[in-house]
A and B are shown apart, each in its own frame.
Chain A
Amino acid sequence: MKKSFLKTLALIIAITSGLGFSSSSVLADDLKVALAAEPTSMDPHYQNLTINNSFATQVYNALVLQDVNQNLLPGLASSWEPVDDLTWQFNLRPGVKFHNGAAFSAEDVIASMERAANVPNSPSSFATFTKGKTFEVVDDLTIRVSTEKSNPFIPNDMSRIAIIDSAFINATTEDFNTGVASFGTGPFILNKWLPGDLIEISRNDNYWGDAAEWDSITIKPIKDGTTRTAALIAGDVDFIERVAPADLPNLEKRDGISVFKSVSNRLLYLTLHMTDDPIKPYVTDFNDNPIASPFQDIRMREAVSLAINRQAIADRVMDGLSSPAGQFSPEGYIGYSPNLQADIYNPDRAKELMAEAGYADGFKLTIHGPAGRYTNDARILEAIAQMLTSVGIETTIETMPASVFFKRFASGGVDKKPEFTAAMSGYANGSGEPSHPLRIFIHTKQKDRGYGPGNRNGYSNSEVDTMIEDGRAMMDVSKGMEMFIKATEMAMNEYALLPLHHEIATWAARDGITYANGALDSTFLHFISKQ
């Protein structure tokens, strides 16, 4: 029903675009941007949420910055190096001023770390990045961070915490929302926030880095994808993120509009339960009697992977907006291994493997997944169910709202264990820390050590675990990286989980505007520039 409306809509856009309507006009220095969501607060320490963090980078700086592929760049720290195995030294940038004129110094760093970990009522605090670290002021422009165990990823952690003026260490979240305390060192100054309506920022002429190209930027949250597209075509805004897939072909053809696409680090994966404890009701024989999970056998996991036609999902379900995946990282992104490719669709081989594993006749399987959380999630699951059914695994799917799904996924089973046998979910590396996906999904679950919180299928390989732990103890990140890549290769070859695809992120702008997009699907306003 909805689909046919969208088709009509696409048709009308196509017709009208033929009428020679071109919305090109002289570019002003004021940019108008429509984003799909808005921050929940202007307080950079209130909630560790992607949209909040990406907006905060416009007004605030961290000690270390990240580019669009999450490589680390000098920020308020002009350089950093390990002093010994347990200590990092950050050399701060001299002569930097906050938007209110106050000078930046080591004291502000200490204040920011203190505040970031302790904002009252924070729904997801930044304490994760400061915990277990001791901060020491060496002089006004030098800070040392030490930990009890060697930690090569302290620069990554330091890239996550916005630095505020120490005068506002006790400011409330409300003070930041109303602009009383919202003074950063970033490329833009916050002028106004009307929740649900707009955010206005203007150029910081005293920025320490390259000054922004725009005098001011107005950000409007427009949740509906088609409305965002219409706003761009009508000239209400100059730049939008997340083009609705149905509108994309028409936008690409249209004069006066350019589209930007890049493979993002947002991965969709399938996880298959690998132990027989407990026997779950989601795999049964054809008489509906529950049986032990067939996916304890690596051949069955491979069979499922080969039975999924990732390219067909990309072409038919995702309208070309996904790239088949064989690992956590897309090409060009940290942790990528050139030795891992997406499995090529091979149903005959899948059937052979099933026969070898003793499941020639197949069985019945229920796959669970969220609806409305990831692009086309429910339709992807439907496609997978058809593909698996055609090789003999009679698959039904059960989708539910994300809020229900994640609870059952993590702890809906007996003894608060993960509930599902087979489930689809998504992942994107937020910190750019290369061992992150390995620590979360691949390492054997060890709750007290912080390992394997997302390992819901019981995968466990002590060799892989050792490589992950050793790599995480190496102060030389490039050496650690080799171990992470080796661990990734080993885990993926054992189908520790089944990568499906990386989503392709989209942006569109009026001609004359360009966007330096990378593997992150959120929008960073200072990467929007004039051509």
Chain B
Amino acid sequence: MSLVVFTMINIVGDPVDMLVNPESLPDEIERVRSDFGLDQPAHIQYIKFLQGALSGDLGNSFIFGRPALALIAERFPATLELATCALIIAIVFGLPLGIYAGLNPKSFGTRIIMGGSVLGISIPTFWLGLMMIIIFSVVLGWLPVSGRGDIGSFLGLESSAFTLDGLSHLIMPATNLALFKIAMVIRLARAGTVEVMSLDFIKFARARGLPPERLVRFHLLPNILIPIITVLAIEFGTLIAFATVTETIFAWPGLGKLVIDAIVNLDRPIVVAYLMFVVTLFLLLNLIVDIIYAALDPRVRLNGDQ
């Protein structure tokens, strides 16, 4: 993976051309090239990179002159906060709506929900983001247009979600990011509900005269949650990794902005470090999914014991 990324990014352009001010003297170009080790052949650069990577050093950003990992760690909380909020919004709205649609497949409400979910999947994020800004900030004046608000701390965690000002800044980008996921959760929950409701154990539970709320909560929900969690955990990774568009529109000071600037300016260490970070993130999320999966589904555990 690191080899692929490193090779690809070394083919594109010359970072020195992007960094050095064109009014500089020619020897300035040579100085920057040798200071940043770009005068070395590519395979030497890669070996140096690997040596650094093994000791936890992914190199210094060309632009900021600081360790790439430190820059990523600095911006990560803002993106994590945005992604977490988006995920919560997706579950809180998506799950009940999806179950409702699954339980009442022919009702008028279901048609509206399913129609809405088609829109949610097909409307581009950036357009929706701009529309939200126009409606909620410009016309109604309810919410601030951009940026991250005041940061509060709660139980040792620092986040803008713990202050009113922070929440008012967070709600629009988080919803924007969540809309696509809400639509997805609705579809997953509905499909799961339709499938599980036709199974024998539900029919039996119903025959026992269980009240509908109990039926949904204890018999339906645990059974449809497994596929939803599997998908959502991976989707959480994509929320973090690809929140770029939302972050650009709402000027959210997260990872996306850092990475876009790094790509445009050929800040190779940041791009490489970011991709390594995302790969690790997905590996971790997959691991977590497997563990939760085992916790939720007894069959997985039993198989494992054999």
B227 to chain A, nearest CB (A): 34
**B17–A227 contact, CB under 8 A?**
no
* CA of A49 to CA of B148, assembled, Å: 26
Chain B residues with CB under 8 Å of A174's CB are 66
- Determine whether B175 belongs to the interface, using a CB cutoff of 8 Å to chain A: no
Chain B interface: which of A296-304, A361-369, A447-455, A511-519? A447-455
* CA of A406 to CA of B13, assembled, Å: 8
Q: Are A403 and B64 also in contact (CB < 8 A) when A222-B251, A230-B137 are?
A: no
Chain B residues with CB under 8 Å of A403's CB are 12-15, 17-18, 264-266
* CA of A148 to CA of B266, assembled, Å: 38
Chain B residues with CB under 8 Å of A173's CB are 65
- Determine whether B75 belongs to the interface, using a CB cutoff of 8 Å to chain A: yes
**A401–B13 contact, CB under 8 A?**
yes
Chain A residues with CB under 8 Å of B126's CB are 5
Which of B120-139 touch A at CB < 8 Å?
A: 124, 126-127, 130-131, 133-134, 137-139
Which of B262-292 touch A at CB < 8 Å?
A: 264-266
Chain A residues with CB under 8 Å of B24's CB are 48, 124-125, 128
Q: Are A234 and B137 also in contact (CB < 8 A) when A124-B28, A403-B264 are?
A: yes
**B32–A233 contact, CB under 8 A?**
no
Q: Are A5 and B146 also in contact (CB < 8 A) when A124-B28, A197-B253 are?
A: no
- Determine whether B214 belongs to the interface, using a CB cutoff of 8 Å to chain A: no
- Determine whether A144 belongs to the interface, using a CB cutoff of 8 Å to chain B: no
- Determine whether A194 belongs to the interface, using a CB cutoff of 8 Å to chain B: yes
Question: Which among A120, A224, A454 is the interface contact of B22 at CB below 8 angstroms?
Answer: A454
**A226–B65 contact, CB under 8 A?**
no
Chain B residues with CB under 8 Å of A233's CB are 138
**A13–B141 contact, CB under 8 A?**
no
Chain B residues with CB under 8 Å of A410's CB are 17
List the A residue with the shortest CB-CB distance to B35: A121
**B249–A236 contact, CB under 8 A?**
no
**B22–A196 contact, CB under 8 A?**
no
Question: Which among A122, A226, A407 is the interface contact of B17 at CB below 8 angstroms?
Answer: A407
* CA of A227 to CA of B134, assembled, Å: 9
- Determine whether B89 belongs to the interface, using a CB cutoff of 8 Å to chain A: no
Chain B residues with CB under 8 Å of A12's CB are 131, 134
**A404–B12 contact, CB under 8 A?**
yes
* CA of A447 to CA of B18, assembled, Å: 20
* CA of A173 to CA of B64, assembled, Å: 9
Chain B residues with CB under 8 Å of A123's CB are 19-20, 32, 36, 62-63, 65
* CA of A123 to CA of B66, assembled, Å: 12
B121 to chain A, nearest CB (A): 17
- Determine whether B2 belongs to the interface, using a CB cutoff of 8 Å to chain A: no
Question: Which among A5, A13, A220, A404 is the interface contact of B13 at CB below 8 angstroms?
Answer: A404
The total of chain A residues at the interface (CB under 8 A) is 59
Task: Please encode chain A, from 433 to 448, with 1 for each CB lying within 8 Å of some chain B CB and 0 for all others.
Answer: 0001000100000010
- Determine whether A402 belongs to the interface, using a CB cutoff of 8 Å to chain B: yes
Question: Which among A16, A46, A196, A402 is the interface contact of B65 at CB below 8 angstroms?
Answer: A46
* CA of A404 to CA of B18, assembled, Å: 9
B33 to chain A, nearest CB (A): 11
- Determine whether B157 belongs to the interface, using a CB cutoff of 8 Å to chain A: no
Which of B34-84 touch A at CB < 8 Å?
A: 35-36, 60, 62-66, 74-75, 78
**A440–B22 contact, CB under 8 A?**
yes
A405 to chain B, nearest CB (A): 8
B290 to chain A, nearest CB (A): 35
The interface size bin for chain B is 35 or more
Chain B residues with CB under 8 Å of A49's CB are 21
- Determine whether A111 belongs to the interface, using a CB cutoff of 8 Å to chain B: no
List the B residue with the shortest CB-CB distance to A223: B248
- Determine whether A231 belongs to the interface, using a CB cutoff of 8 Å to chain B: yes
Which of A215-243 touch B at CB < 8 Å?
A: 220-224, 226-227, 230-231, 233-236
- Determine whether B219 belongs to the interface, using a CB cutoff of 8 Å to chain A: no
Chain A residues with CB under 8 Å of B22's CB are 440, 453-454
- Determine whether B258 belongs to the interface, using a CB cutoff of 8 Å to chain A: yes
B123 to chain A, nearest CB (A): 11
Chain B residues with CB under 8 Å of A9's CB are 130-131, 134
- Determine whether B26 belongs to the interface, using a CB cutoff of 8 Å to chain A: yes
Q: Are A227 and B20 also in contact (CB < 8 A) when A197-B253, A220-B251, A406-B13 are?
A: no
Q: Are A128 and B23 also in contact (CB < 8 A) when A198-B147, A230-B137, A236-B145 are?
A: yes
Q: Are A447 and B26 also in contact (CB < 8 A) when A220-B147, A221-B251 are?
A: yes
Chain A residues with CB under 8 Å of B28's CB are 124-125, 127-128
- Determine whether B152 belongs to the interface, using a CB cutoff of 8 Å to chain A: no
- Determine whether A40 belongs to the interface, using a CB cutoff of 8 Å to chain B: yes
A164 to chain B, nearest CB (A): 17
List the A residue with the shortest CB-CB distance to B18: A403
**B139–A230 contact, CB under 8 A?**
no
**B139–A194 contact, CB under 8 A?**
no
**B74–A195 contact, CB under 8 A?**
yes
Q: Are A227 and B148 also in contact (CB < 8 A) when A16-B139, A40-B64, A128-B24 are?
A: no
B126 to chain A, nearest CB (A): 8
* CA of A404 to CA of B131, assembled, Å: 34
* CA of A406 to CA of B16, assembled, Å: 10
Question: Which among B64, B74, B145, B264 is the interface contact of A227 at CB below 8 angstroms?
Answer: B145
Task: Please encode chain A, from 111 to 129, with 1 for each CB lying within 8 Å of some chain B CB and 0 for all others.
Answer: 0000000001111110110
Question: Which among B23, B60, B145 is the interface contact of A436 at CB below 8 angstroms?
Answer: B23
Task: Please encode chain A, from 98 to 122, with 1 for each CB lying within 8 Å of some chain B CB and 0 for all others.
Answer: 0000000000000000000000111
Q: Are A450 and B25 also in contact (CB < 8 A) when A9-B130, A227-B249, A236-B146 are?
A: yes
**A194–B253 contact, CB under 8 A?**
yes
**B251–A124 contact, CB under 8 A?**
no
Task: Please encode chain B, from 66 to 108, with 1 for each CB lying within 8 Å of some chain A CB and 0 for all others.
Answer: 1000000011001000000000000000000000000000000
Question: Which among B13, B19, B26, B250 is the interface contact of A124 at CB below 8 angstroms?
Answer: B19
* CA of A231 to CA of B124, assembled, Å: 21
Question: Which among A19, A40, A121, A453 is the interface contact of B60 at CB below 8 angstroms?
Answer: A121
Please report B residues at the A interface, Cβ cutoff 8 Å: 12-15, 17-26, 28, 31-32, 35-36, 60, 62-66, 74-75, 78, 124, 126-127, 130-131, 133-134, 137-139, 141, 144-148, 248-251, 253-254, 257-258, 264-266
Q: List 21 A-B contacts (CB under 8 A).
A: A5-B126, A16-B138, A16-B139, A121-B65, A123-B19, A127-B28, A127-B31, A128-B21, A196-B257, A222-B251, A224-B248, A224-B249, A227-B130, A227-B146, A236-B137, A236-B146, A403-B265, A404-B12, A404-B13, A406-B18, A450-B25
Please report A residues at the B interface, Cβ cutoff 8 Å: 5, 9, 12-13, 16, 19, 21, 34, 40-41, 46-49, 120-125, 127-128, 131, 173-174, 194-198, 220-224, 226-227, 230-231, 233-236, 372, 401-404, 406-407, 410, 430-431, 436, 440, 447, 450, 453-454
Given A16-B134, A234-B133, 12 additional A-B pairs, CB 8 A: A5-B124, A125-B24, A173-B65, A222-B251, A223-B248, A223-B251, A226-B133, A230-B137, A403-B13, A403-B18, A430-B21, A431-B23
